[in-house]
Amino acid sequence: MTSHASDGSVPVQGYQGLSSDEARYRLAADGPNLLPEGEGNSAALLLLRELVHFFALMLWVAAGLALLAGLPELAVAIIVVVLFNGAFAFAQEYRADRAGQRLRELIPADSTVRRDGRRVVVRAADLVRGDLVLLESGDRISADLKIVQAHSLAVNQSMLTGESVPVRPVESEALFAGTYVVEGQAEAVVTATGAHTKLGALAKLTRAASRPPSPLARELSKVIKVVAAIALGVGVAFFGLTLLLGMSPSNGFLLALGVTVALVPEGLLPTVTLSLARAARQMARRKALVRHLEAVETLGSATFICTDKTGTITRNEMSVVQVWTPNGPLDLTRPEVAIEIMRSAVLCSTGRLVRANGGHQAIGDPMEVALHALALRAGYCEEEVVTRRYPFDPVRRRSSAVVDGKLHLKGAPDAVLPLCGDVPEAAVVLEAMSASGLRVLAVARADDPATGSAEQAEQDLTLLGLVGLEDPPRDGVAEAIVTCRRAGIRLAMITGDHPSTARAIAQEVGLLARKPLVLTGRELPADDATLGEVLDQDGVVVARVTPEDKLRIARALRGRGHVVAMTGDGVNDGPALREADIGVAMGASGTDVAREAADLVLLDDHFATIVTAIELGRSTYANIRRFLTYHLTDNVAELTPFLVWALSGGTLPPALTVLQVLALDIGTDLLPALALGAEPPSPRAMRGAARTGALIERRLLRRVFVVLGPTEALAVMVAFFTVLAVGGWTLGVEPSAEVLAAASGSAFAAAVLGQFANAFACRSETDRAWGVPLLANPLLLWAVAVEALMLLAFVGFPPLAGLLGGSFPPAVGWAMAALAIPAVLVADAMYKTGRAR
């Protein structure tokens, strides 16, 4: 028995494969045919990361200090916040990093080989270099191979190349792991297994491409660090001030801790997390499945979309759209007129549209299936006996079959027209069809074909006509592209298809720029900076791209400051999906690899769904600013009592206690903040460029620290001192415990009622509270109602009120607290009116 050549060359026909002993030896030497699993982080490490980031560490320290200060209730409350955030973030991250594992699933469980001269089925993991693999239609290829012999072989390589039409490789050409046979048979020798295959190289690329931090993550990190620095700085200053005023270190520490807690928005991260989760559910209802919560906001920040063609812009369904005969074009609204030409086209095809499970199933080459579909509509449904068949090969570029003594043929026009009689108008029609982006086939017939080889039989043909096929654009894509441009989002088509096909589709849907730029992967500049400069324009088309090209494109555009959304559906797209700011995979037609590498999965594969998700993402960004304003306003009101105490030299008692501050942050404030995260998208959301700047900027700070915060703080202090005065308190005299508790309860009520009004004021940055439809966000009404009940519980339930340090307000306390509502609304309205002027 001939053994496999030691130099790795491919044996000639007649090779009978390895012996079992040789296969065992090579398996021991090279290892199993499996993709490496990678060095993924353990679940414990992922969880630990979510519990020890900067904000979490700050809260852990605060909890420890509260415990040392004798405030276990405060410590427990802070720890609950940390654990909640950590658990939720861990659950998202744990599901996110499995693309490398899914690549392994593309290797089938079994393969058919010839060993010891016999046909045997072995585990795909046991394939070794030199094995002779036997392939048939429907088989998924288990390793990289080289063809020894092939019969009508057609292989779908779209998972690796992005090319939607199956290739027809011949002897000595390569086949790759992860692709599959759609037609024909072949014998091929294994040339590479496991990590050494092209699929293995893609797995390595996918793992190497790191996911960049989202714009939201970067902005939240800035906000948290700034707030933390301010909180700690002010807390330390207050502690020093208490010592200067003669307060004991323990009491001074408690007060300083209260100031620090007042300035730290403990409820911010839970609010952001839950708001993003709610937005993700909204997207899922609109056929966009979010796999990473931060991707919700990142979508809203997108400035550049790199979209695939097949299945995203188009339907991924080949169909016949034009048929021309020497007698003129046929009207396909009356398909029966095409029965003659379609009969010949179908007879020399093997692809079929068959009934299955109450519907139809495509079997074989999609182009031949499209021909069969039109033939069925034309009324041709017979299966005639083929006496001779000459399969397609890439040299002849045509296929033919003999039925009832006549030869029926189809193929590439330039391979068929020279064999036909002179039909000059065919060349004109062919040029017009090709220019419109159609895939064109010529169909012909010979009434008395010669016997012998295909070249001998395929002579003296009569041209029946030209058939134009297309993968038509999806409905709504053109409108979605217009919306993107209105929103300031640039677009590029990145595809593995032919440049002329890509250009035609891009032009049809309105994606192609007025000054068209159509490139192929080979024409892309080698330097990333130059590449980014070339592609940083709207309406670019890049065809015949490789996985490495897509990866470089994403990196180059990000290098120019763009927030890049990259779509993909194949194994080849995994690295680029991870490199992009937002990876978008196809849910219906895509691979598990692409879906696991992506941040967003389109359940309907529709480009327009991306635009819908971007609108929701922009709305989410606006909503985050809304509840950030809401939280920070309350922080001003919470800090003010401690500032007043400090400025008075300790002669004025603080209006709020530390536990009351925490009750506001993670108690009464949480539901209204979440409801603000449910505000519906504004009609202006997709007009103009995305707001990708800082979450906290001058306009927001002015509104918080000049208008809303001081107004609410004033209402809190007025309620507090009014109750103290009515209770007989005078300056310089320590109030009784009962009066102080009632006054503190009144101040707490004023802060909560001020936040009532603040919630409605924060619904819009431009419209007054009463100018926004009240029922547009019913969740806010429910949240405010629950907040009112929580307020009554916090001040009206004696054990809870006593724990917080307050009591039920007297009538005058309620009256003063209620003034916070009109005060906040009027101040906000005056500010917005002034800005409008």
Spell 175-204 as b/e; 16+ CB within 10 A means b. Answer: bbbbbbbbbbebbbbbbbbbebbbbbebbb
Sequence-distant (≥ 6) Cβ neighbours of residue 358 within 8 angstroms: none
Sign of CA dihedral 733, 737, 742, 747: positive
630: nearest Cα among 448, 484, 784: 784
Bridge partners (DSSP) listed for residue 712: none
Residue 349: both structure tokens together: 């095809």
Residue 273: both structure tokens together: 């997390």
Q: At which residue do the structure tokens 């103290």 appear? A: 724
3-state SS track over 243-304: HHCCCCHHHHHHHHHHHHHHHCCCCHHHHHHHHHHHHHHHHHHCCEEECCCHHHHHHHCCCE
Bridge partners (DSSP) listed for residue 406: 403
Sequence-distant (≥ 6) Cβ neighbours of residue 837 within 8 angstroms: none
Q: Give the distance, in angstroms, between the CA of residue 687 and the centroid of all CA atoms in the same chain.
A: 22
**CA pair distance 308, 601, nearest whole angstrom:** 14
Residue 166: both structure tokens together: 């199956």
**CA pair distance 837, 766, nearest whole angstrom:** 11
**CA pair distance 182, 400, nearest whole angstrom:** 19
Residue 698: both structure tokens together: 């001058």
Write the CA distances from 707 to 42, 252, 382, 701, 769, integer angstroms: 48, 31, 80, 9, 15
Alpha carbons within 13 A on the beta-carbon side of 153: 28
**CA pair distance 616, 624, nearest whole angstrom:** 12
Q: Which residues are catalytic?
A: 308
Question: Using an 8 Å Cβ cutoff, are 750 and 722 in contact?
Answer: no
110: three-class secondary structure by DSSP: strand
Q: Which helix (H) or strand (E) holds 526?
A: none
**CA pair distance 788, 24, nearest whole angstrom:** 75
Q: At which residue do the structure tokens 């046909």 appear? A: 119
DSSP states of 642-681: HHHHHHTTT-SPPSS-HHHHHHIIIIITHHHHHHHTTPPP
Alpha carbons within 13 A on the beta-carbon side of 455: 2
Q: Kindly report the backbone phi and psi dihedral angles of residue 722, in degrees, each rounded to the nearest multiple of 5, phi listed first.
A: -65, -45
Question: Using an 8 Å Cβ cutoff, are 240 and 212 in contact?
Answer: no
Sequence-distant (≥ 6) Cβ neighbours of residue 607 within 8 angstroms: 307, 312, 313, 474, 477, 480, 481, 567
Residues constituting the chain: 837
The 10 Å Cβ neighbour count of residue 354 is 11
Write the CA distances from 359 to 276, 354, 364, 372, 472, integer angstroms: 39, 8, 17, 16, 21
How is residue 682 annotated by DSSP?
P
Bridge partners (DSSP) listed for residue 355: 360
